[in-house]
Amino acid sequence: MPAVLTVDPRSGVPIYLQIIEQIKRSVALGILQSGEQLPTVKQLAIDLTVNPNTVARAYRELERQQVIETSPGRGSFIRSNGVTESPKVAAEIGRDALDVALREAKSVGLARDEVRELFDAALQRWFPTFEK
């Protein structure tokens, strides 16, 4: 896999969170499919030039969030429990992004109705419905 995975160590976002975010995103986009094997902790650490324990921490957290599963001796895989996880993960990513946007809107003092107006306009731009 991840030619798609990169980290920015200079960012203020912890590296393990960057790895989690990117793997979830790859799952949501179907770049990583259920049952697909992830690189070993050691391999990913070497590929990204980051500490192996940092990668291990990301994997542990992804396991806790039920995005991946690890079987001893075989490696880590994108969870495949019959249903694909990607819609759920996609919803999580969208919800987090909306959260950030709404917090910002509130902090600059917009009122609820103004936010709704902006939201509807943005929704129409990105998810157009054509009315006759």
Partner 1 sequence: MSTITISNLRKSYGRIPAVDGFSLEIPGASVFGLLGPNGAGKTTTFKCMLGLARPASGEILYDGKPLAPAMFERIAYIPERSVLYDWMTVEEHVEMTRRAFRSFDPARAFELLATFNIDRRRRVRALSKGMRTAVMVALAFARNAEILVLDEPTGGLDPVNQRHVLSLMINEAAKGNSVIFSSHQIGQVERAAEHIAVMDRGQLILQGLVDDLKADRKIVEGIFPDITFTLDGIANDARVARADRTERVVRLLVTGGADEIAERLANAGAMGVRVLDLNLEDIFLYAVSPATSTADVVAKETSS
Binding site for partner 1 (CB under 8 A): 9-17, 41-42, 45-46, 49-54, 57, 107-109
Closest approach, Cβ 33 to partner 1, in A, equals 27
Q: Which is nearer to partner 1, 71 or 107 (CB)?
A: 107
Q: Which is nearer to partner 1, 28 or 44 (CB)?
A: 44
Rounded Cα distance between 61 and 108, Å, is 34
Q: What phi and psi values does residue 61 have, to the nearest 5 degrees?
A: -70, -40
Closest approach, Cβ 107 to partner 1, in A, equals 5
Q: Which is nearer to partner 1, 14 or 90 (CB)?
A: 14
DSSP notation for 34-91: TTPBPPPHHHHHHHHTS-HHHHHHHHHHHHHTTSEEEETTTEEEE--BSB-SHHHHHH
Closest approach, Cβ 92 to partner 1, in A, equals 18
